[in-house]
Structure 1
């Protein structure tokens, strides 16, 4: 634990439940209370704890988790007692006490003594504080909200039974969550004896309620005020770097109330958990010499020369010295850069950094950068690495600047037809890397052939022996070759118009139809035609970039009656993808049905708003094969029946 954390812990005691302190005693101590000289925390271990001789015989010990009325248990936790009418208390009150026990009581009708103990060898004729922590274990909702609250009396008596001090807790209320309550009593020990009897008495009635736990019974003496202070600062904590230490003088001030005090300075290396006497440090001043890095706590103790060795020791406040180690400064061992590039430094080991270097370079970044470096930036760079305590150390690194190559590339732009290639020529150094590699004969040579599938910009990195590089780029424009698609053959009823489903592709192309007869607009890619008889049209596409010519034919078959195809190929190639019945629109009441071999209907179409079958059922492709159709024209003619073959 750090010293800062220790001081916070001394001021605020962090516990798993809320705490309350009851102070109902008259003030006897005019000085300060020392650390406890007696602590009763009932020990620690697995459940159950052993019986306690300090609990009167009227109460029966039980090893069970939930003692019945008139019984007690020693537990490190209690859960789900009496159908959860009691709180679940997962640990005791004592801080940092794994498996620590507490005393759990289901009280009899009061008044009844629940704990009686004789404490011996206290300092005679001295004011002490008796402290007990108590908790009502009853849930507020239990007993229909009318539970009996515990009421405890603390008493201190001499061995003859005379009362030295007494206080009543008043009712300890139920709380959600459970609440530990501290009850404190000041008393003075007999003039000629340090032996006393402490007694805790339950006053409440029995019944539903009056169940509680107690823990951490302590006794601590009151003495004159003891003050430890540094000679050179009013602070109680000094933070210092290990290399900056000096001799630190600590002074002891002893208040009134001590006749012949003996002083002993002490040191703790674990945040005040354990203390050791400093040999020879028995004066009102102690000079602490430099020490290795770590956390040190100091205090002095006082006891009367004729007092018992341990029962009447009083301790001062605590002083702390935190010796901080210098950070281990680490800068990048070796930094090099290429002329014109960005250089990055990096350091570690601290919380703040200061860099200095050539040309007045200065930065407080952990990883500063220098953009566009030149040869004047080369040299030694130093970094000061500091930690949060202000301690620091240095490290350095050399920056070396290497010359960068100059990339040469030809051509800087080229155009070619799809499928053709062009040679690229790079130069300027030793090693080459092209990106992207697609379409190149090699991406690691100076002069690869480029045959990209589409317009591409190639970038080459030209490396020298220091891995420095320069880049150059070339744009290769790819002209698509012409491609003619006259579309699927058409079947049209004589006297009707049909539109071509044609298309053209290619970069900068011209196209024409031949013959132009019966076309409404021969200059269109998808013209309409109304031929009087079957005709074949040719679509010609010419590249204006010299990348070739493409042609395709389409047949428009003219029929004089409805035409039912015997097959189709629904493979999305644009040719015969649907089973199209020519002139079915002339029969608006017609119903077209298609069945598989088991008689399952796969398709229904109508003459009105005709939608040809696309070879699916419930939007899923059907298998290749032969299917039966029937067409009812609803014009007093026979139903047309036949088969259609689906090919994929």
Structure 2
């Protein structure tokens, strides 16, 4: 029985092959009149049903399975179901069903999944109503072999067949073997519907086995053959660009090949909410009045049909749209950093575009976005207009530049002198705000008339402001130092010695030493002194600027000459009985040491000087030569030598 059915199917195809090839479209196939997508799913589920809910007009003669219960893993032969992908997460046979989205790549788009059988029966129908009679139509269907290539399963194969409401054959074609390559394959059939407005697509199984005959269907469409329609604007453009707010008329036209017999026309417009007929635009060439439209994209298309069919959606040809792009005007802004002062630089600023063109007083112009005008004058005051352009659209913005008169500063002095520790009042005029710097020594740096009492000569700068304008002036306060003196540290000398006084003074002063006695020059800071006795000198300094005078004293202690005898005779005759150094008595802590010729200490004294009586531990020392060491203080050398003890 099966070979007979195959033979009849082959004969059926051959008989109608010439009929199918005869359906030649001399124009072009337009937009889909029928578009069966099998619906849309969600992010949660994979299986869907019933078929009538998601795919109106579609019928399957297989056993349709909705969302499965206990066993969602596979379909049995002659079963079908709506799915997002053939490969479910818990499919135990991933080698067979391969994971794949619908034909458009939509992860939630549905497809009809079928496990075919081997008998050549109709397993799917799609009814197509409201077609225009006597039209060449193109049927298109997308098929996916859901098996993986690794399964090495026999491929599915089917026949596309179209019949009229009475079951009369209108055309058919075979898909051939649908390859298991993980790709959707498109199959088409061109046919004429004669006088019928309704036809039915039938899919007939043409595979001789149940095993591996697993496939999915998606995106079944029917398109009518109509003329080529090429719409254009009056300048032969397929798009126009204009700026927001423009009012403009333009002409639309179209080349149509071939024309319908006794054609009629209708131009349509889409402003983003759907296609609408343009009233009065019923000729192939029409004028569109484009009045002050907001930014956006505007689409225009031409529909044409045989007279009497223009209102029948499936009996007319529709062109691709041509576009009017309305570009928004730039958000033009103009500013300046003023008000400005005469002599300042004027800074203009603009924003909102990609190019700029400035115009201003005295013929000023610039193409910079933020131009600078140097050395402002009153003549530069006024309105500056900038034309801001972006994407070919322009808008003007205006900013007003104010140039203020220059400030004239007055000060009470330019330079003044004060004594150290004194103060003086400074004064400035010519503005409404004042700021002095540095702040050191000022009573109030923001006052127009501050009191200045610097400790050093200081140049004060005052910034005088009026509004945004400012100017500076300077006053120098010269500080004359008070006289200071330093006569130096007290000193000690031996009578007959010379000593240099270490005087110091500061300030612009005159000075002198008093008394002038024993000084080589009392008007020098470092005179040489040769006093014979103790004396106090005073260094007196007087300011030449009339500032405070100063004085300081230095004490000179004069010791008698140090005379060390080298012989004495401690024999009790009260003549030269002790070794005495008279000058040593004038020092508080002299250090005396006497040794014999062997280096042994025979006498030693620290503190107030006591003459030596020639004894050691209360016993007379024998006549001999002894050696001494005398230390008076750090300012004198240590005296050393020998002495003779005589009995």
Establish whether residue 280 from structure 1 lines up as the match of residue 280 from structure 2: yes
Alignment of 1:287-366 (within 5 A): 287-294=287-294, 295-305=297-307, 307=309, 309-324=312-327, 326-327=329-330, 329-332=332-335, 335-366=338-369
CA distance in 2, matches of 1:235, 1:321: 10
Aligned length: 438
What CA distance in whole angstroms lies between the structure 1 residues aligned with 2:185 and 2:406? Answer: 78
The residue that corresponds to 2:495 in the other structure is none
Q: Is the 8 A contact 1:436 1:459 kept in 2?
A: yes
Partner residue, 1:537: none
Change (3 A) 1:106 1:394: same
Question: Is residue 129–residue 220 contact of structure 1 (8 Å, CA) maintained in 2?
Answer: yes
Q: Are the structure 2 counterparts of residues 370 and 306 from structure 1 closer, same or farther at C-alpha, using a change threshold of 3 Å?
A: closer
Where do 1:123-134 residues align within 5 Å?
123-134=132-143
2:192 aligned with 1:196? no
Q: Higher Cα Rg: structure 1 or 2?
A: 2
Greater shift, 198-207 or 257-266, is seen at 198-207
SS at the partner of 2:369? coil
**1:236 Cα offset (Å):** 1.0
**Structure 1: distance between partners of 2:426 and 2:30:** 91
SS at match of 1:34: strand
Identify the residue that residue 39 of structure 1 maps to in structure 2. 35
Distance 1:262 1:67, change over 3 A: farther
| Mapped contact 1:339–1:374 kept (Cα < 8 A) | yes
Call closer, same or farther: CA 1:446–1:80 in 2, change over 3 Å: farther
Task: Indicate the SS of the match to 1:289.
Answer: strand
1:459-470 equivalences under 5 Å are 461-464=463-466, 466-470=467-471
Contact 1:67–1:106 (CA<8 Å) still a contact in 2? no
What is the match of residue 548 of structure 2? none
Sort the Cα spacing of 1:81 and 1:216 in 2 relative to 1 into closer, same or farther, 3 A: farther
Which residue does the alignment assign to 2:91? 82
**CA deviation map 1:320-376 (0-9, x unaligned):** 233445546443399521122222223344443210112332112333222332223
Deviations 1:414-450 (A, max 9, x none): 9999x99999876653313457879875443346678
Alpha carbon RMSD of aligned pairs, Å? Answer: 4.8
Deviation at 1:220, TM superposition (A): 1.0
Looking at structure 2, the residues matched to 133 and 455 of structure 1 have their Cα atoms a distance apart, in angstroms, of 98
- In the other structure, the counterpart of 1:234 is 236
Give, in whole Å, the separation in 2 of the partners of 1:79 and 1:375.
Answer: 82
Give me the whole-angstrom Cα distance separating, in 2, the residues matched to 1:450 and 1:203.
Answer: 113
Distance verdict in 2 for CA 1:397–1:375, change over 3 Å? same
Q: Determine helix, strand or coil for the equivalent of 1:346.
A: strand
Please give the alpha-carbon distance, in whole angstroms, between the structure 2 residues aligned to 1:332 and 1:457: 39
Structure 1 residues 423 and 149, CA gap change in structure 2 (3 angstroms):
farther
Contact 2:359 2:366 in 1 (8 A): yes
2:336–2:399 CA contact under 8 A, matched in 1: yes
Structure 1 residues 157 and 459: CA distance shift in structure 2, 3 A: farther
What TM-score results when the alignment is normalised by the length of structure 1?
0.56
| More relative contact order, 1 or 2 (CA 8 Å, 6+ apart) | 1
CA-CA distance at 1:400 after TM superposition = 1.7
Distance 1:443 1:202 in 2: 103
Task: Mark the runs of 5 or more structure 2 residues left unpaired by the alignment.
Answer: 1-19, 53-57, 480-647
Per-residue CA deviation, residues 137-184 of structure 1 (Å, 9 max, x unaligned), is 67x7xx8x4465864546132133636132416434445xxx5x3514
- Which residue does the alignment assign to 2:380? 377
Query: Over residues 90-120 of structure 1, what are the superposed CA-to-partner deviations in whole Å (9 max), with x where a residue is unaligned?
Result: x75569x9x9641241534557765321223
Unmatched runs of 5 consecutive residues or more in structure 1: 1-24, 479-648
Asked if the contact 2:349/2:369 (under 8 Å) is kept, the reply is: yes
Residue 56 of structure 1: aligned partner? 60
1:285-321 deviations in Å (ceiling 9; x for gaps): 2111232314322111122235582222211232223
